[in-house]
Amino acid sequence: MSMMTELTYSSYNSKKETGMVGLRNQGATCYLNSLLQSLFFTNAFRKAVYQIPTEDEANKKNSAWTLQRLFYSLQTCETPVSTSELTESFGWKSRVIFEQQDVQELSRLLMEKLEVQMKGTPAELALPNLFVGKAKTYISCINVDYESSRIEDFWDIQLSVKGNKTLDDSFKSYINVEIMDGENKYDAGSSHGLQDARKGVIFESFPPVLHLHLQRYEYDFNRDAMMKINDRHEFPEEFDASPYLSADADRSEPWEYKLFGVLVHSGDLNAGHYYAFLRPTKDGHFYKFDDDKVIRATNKETLEENFGGEYANGAGMRQPYTRNYSTKRSMNAYMLVYIRKSRIDDVLVNVGNEDVPAHLAKQVDEERSEAIRRKKEREEQHLYMNIAVVSDDSFREHHGFDLMSTDLDPGDPALPTTYRVRRTMKVGEFTQLVAEDKGLDVERVRLWAMVNRQNKTVRPDQPLRDPEDTVETAAFKLSSRAAPFKVYAEVREPGSDGKVVWPETQGPNASVLVILKHFDPVTQTLSGVGHVFVKKQSKVSELAGPILQMMNWPAGTSFSLYEEIKPSMIDQLKPKQTFQASEIQDGDIICFQRTQSESELGPNVLYKDARQYYDYLLNRVMIKFAPVKPESDDSTFTLALSRKMSYDQFSAKVGEYLKVDPTHLRFAPVATTTGNPKPFIRRNVAHNLSQILTTQYSAYGNSGQRNDALYYEILETSLSEYETKKLIKITWLPEGIIKEQPFELLVPKQGNVTDILQGLQQKANLDNEVMQNVRVFEAHYSKMQKELTDKFGVAGIMDTISLYAEPIPEDEQNMKEGDFRINAFNFDKEPNREHGIPFKFVVKPGEKFIDTKERLSKRTGIRGKQFEKIKFAVVSRAMYSNPTYLEDDDILSELVGDSDSQLGLNHVNKNRNFLSKSDNIFIR
């Protein structure tokens, strides 16, 4: 295949050239793209995914649904497909998207998630039938007829590259037999005693689709870092797996496998690129899937060039540690996909559009049609313009500044009606359109151009007088350049003769258009009322007639008048002045307020005149309040508050809403990046809400906080008393580590652990006998830190640690000579992926681990099948040390002689969707 030029590559059309499309890279998701393409072309897997029922849960939080959408898009799209919906359904944030992750871990997590979602569906056994094989771990005595073994399922096989030149070498290394003799003899029980034995792993069966992960990374002790192994490792296009099977395995069908996928990594541990070579059909060619590009590949490019090892011509790159040139390729295979030859037709079964769930295809097709429509709309956008029409109807529903607001929800009656019309439409035609929408004769409607004034208000300025002008011309001549073109629709009642007479707006007899608003102090509302025309030489007091008529108020009703010049400038008008002397012009807004006595207003009126209310509107902010600990769906609410409110004023408003004493409330800012509560705000009567919501406020330096939200907490005591105490979060462990009872205790800041225990006894209702032997200890990242004495001060307990209390077990209280304690912790596959609750455990000298496990089950409270799934290991505190897994005949006391060792319990983290460290990958 000839090398493409950069220009050719950029214009290359994968669908046209290969019939297939690639996946877009979100940042560092090329590893995900490689895995997804491999799974997509495992047709039986794709078909099984389509069989998951998603109609009742078709949303972006459902990873099965987003995977179905992704596969359907790969099946039918003409252009590269995005994976953002899928990663969003996994719950991944940008940090995960921009980090390289472990493909084997991701593959296992995805399989686990899908297997759960396939339960009870036609696809329930599809994944195990495709990907699961069986391997036997055994210890077999050489001289007597005795064997200890267990058969386990595997979804993939991890093969060593280091020291193995070929795939066959790696398999032989995997099933290599270890001879247990001399001091390492196997204890075959009372019947046979210590015996020479063979220890190893052998395969009972392989799955139809065999995923082989090549171990390309290992810890280098000399460099104290994980290093990539770029050694040459050859793998065949076809191989026979029967030599790696046990003698008892079923051989009625050949165990011959054919290569269908090579997943490649180019680069080193910290940076690099992933791509895949896949064979989509039974006897077809390999294709290179490199993110959004799909290119036909040769067998040499697929196999030879991904074995790793030395470059043929000696070209290489500088090694950062040795400063010597390495001639080893940095691009090499890390995962292989083989399909059993006798099952290829079953695995590569034809998948058509008829296999796609109907609801899914319908929705995706509708979305594509909508996208095409929007694209066409964008392409024709230059032919059209938007016109926003403000009417008296929308104005009456408006309760803010000016005549309109554009940041309202769709469907809000105060929202102006927006028309999308051709720029060549005549003003007369557009007026006809507006009139028809309102059910009016066109003679009763006159449109006014609205302009953005220098004081940043938007007001009607002059009528659109020429019906033959195009709307584009009218907008250019009469209005501001800002889109959309805004107009005010004036509606006039016909006279007694049935004709409509429009007030003059030009010349010596010109009238001025005045917009009227009403402020009601009792209801604390500002509303649009309508419009009137006045003569410039008339007195302001002459507004009384139309106002009394509009409001249906009795004659003689007294009221005040204010001009809304701009949000920060509200001037009271003098009734005896003329409109000209008051500088009233077309489009000006006058607000009126009826005069009322203190008794009429009542004691709870906050803003007693329009100026105060306008100031509130100017400083109004919508604040969302959420409980630190959500108790119900309706515990989150939003309040309209003023930025000028003091701490006590806004606290009173929140207390009024929650129906609690405001002195029993405290508040915390919301972190912008995580959405979590930041340190609680101290009450300060000198600060207002605006200062509290700004990043400069607070002694804690609350940078990066939201200015529209606060967390709240309802306290058992007043805030002033609360601030003399420290909140201690402690978990009581009544039965090992399986039952947790979290409590929050208020302890004097000068108190100690004794005060914590007294509070715990009261909260947990514990009797005195139990409290005589209770241990309090700290844990960090699920590992034991230290035990706390009764006199340890609470001031020394950091908020970042986890605090636990438990009854001291009997075997600890009654330790015998030679017994000693060891720290134990839980982890998931790797020791640096800690989870759960750590604990102390008594180690007894000479005790076989099979007996130790009985005590561990009692100590932890974990029993039955759940306990059987745990693998136990001795783990050194060294960061990259490998765990030493324990067998039933091992003596724990001989393996943990130094204080540096800990006991590790390897089992699945049930809460793995919580991303506690950046190196954990998860699927929600």
User: What homologous superfamily does CATH list for 133-347?
Assistant: Cysteine proteinases (3.90.70.10)
The set of long-range contacts for 669-673, using a CB threshold of 8 Å and a minimum separation of 24, is 669/693, 669/698, 669/702, 669/705, 669/706, 669/710, 669/711, 670/626, 670/705, 670/706, 670/709, 670/710, 670/711, 671/704, 671/705, 671/706, 672/704, 672/705, 672/706, 673/704
The correct answer on CATH 3.10.20.90 for the domain covering 813-906 is yes
The per-residue pLDDT for 10 is 65
* Average pLDDT along the chain: 88
For residues 276 and 265, what is the distance between their CA atoms, to the nearest angstrom? 9
The number of helices, as runs of H, and strands, as runs of E, in the chain is: 28, 42
For β-strands 458-463 and 665-671, DSSP reports them as unpaired
The per-residue pLDDT for 878 is 62
The per-residue pLDDT for 312 is 66
Task: Kindly tell me the burial class for residue 209, based on how many C-beta atoms sit within 10 Å of its own C-beta (0-12, 13-18, 19 or more).
Answer: buried
DSSP state for residue 688 in the 8-state scheme: B
The second-level CATH assignment, the architecture, of 511-605 is Roll (3.10)
* CA dihedral for 834, 835, 840, 841, sign (positive or negative): negative
For residues 251 and 62, what is the distance between their CA atoms, to the nearest angstrom? 41
Query: In this structure, are residues 533 and 514 in contact, taking their beta carbons and an 8 Å threshold?
Result: yes
DSSP reduced 3-state for 586: coil
- Tell me the CATH number for domain 619-722: 3.10.20.90
Fold of 725-808: Ubiquitin-like (UB roll) (3.10.20)
- Digit-coded pLDDT (tens) for 682-740: 888 788 999 888 865 444 444 588 899 999 999 888 888 777 888 899 999 998 898 99
For residues 274 and 29, what is the distance between their CA atoms, to the nearest angstrom? 9
Look-up of token digits 């402020």 = 519
| Shared fold status for 511-605 and 813-906 | yes
DSSP reduced 3-state for 445: strand
Rg of the chain (C-alpha set): 38
The per-residue pLDDT for 457 is 94
Nearest CA to 819 among 827, 828, 829, 810?
810
Query: In this structure, are residues 179 and 317 in contact, taking their beta carbons and an 8 Å threshold?
Result: no
Nearest CA to 871 among 839, 830, 837?
830
DSSP reduced 3-state for 598: helix
The per-residue pLDDT for 191 is 86
Each domain of the chain, given as residue ranges in start order, spans 18-128+351-371, 133-347, 380-491, 511-605, 619-722, 725-808, 813-906
Structure tokens at 312: 């043929």
- Digit-coded pLDDT (tens) for 218-258: 866 666 667 889 999 999 999 999 999 999 999 999 999 99
For residues 101 and 26, what is the distance between their CA atoms, to the nearest angstrom? 14
Query: In this structure, are residues 173 and 120 in contact, taking their beta carbons and an 8 Å threshold?
Result: no
Which residues, 6 or more positions from 80, have their beta carbon under 8 angstroms from its beta carbon? 14, 21, 22, 23, 24, 291, 292
Low-confidence stretches of the chain (pLDDT beneath 70):
1-10, 28, 92-102, 219-225, 312-327, 631-634, 695-703, 878-881, 897-899, 911-924
Range 146-182 burial, b when 16+ CB lie within 10 A, else e: bebeeeeebbbbebbbeebeebbbbbeebeeeeebee
Which of the four CATH numbers 1.10.3720.10, 3.30.470.20, 3.30.365.10, 3.90.70.10 does domain 18-128+351-371 have? 3.90.70.10
* CA dihedral for 229, 232, 238, 243, sign (positive or negative): negative
> Catalytic positions, please?
30, 273
* CATH class of the domain at 380-491: alpha beta
Which residues, 6 or more positions from 364, have their beta carbon under 8 angstroms from its beta carbon? 69, 72, 73
The per-residue pLDDT for 397 is 96
The per-residue pLDDT for 921 is 45
For residues 169 and 222, what is the distance between their CA atoms, to the nearest angstrom? 26
pTM listed for this prediction: 0.55
Query: In this structure, are residues 660 and 652 in contact, taking their beta carbons and an 8 Å threshold?
Result: no
For β-strands 186-187 and 194-195, DSSP reports them as antiparallel
User: E strands, 411-479, where?
Assistant: 417-422, 445-452, 458-463
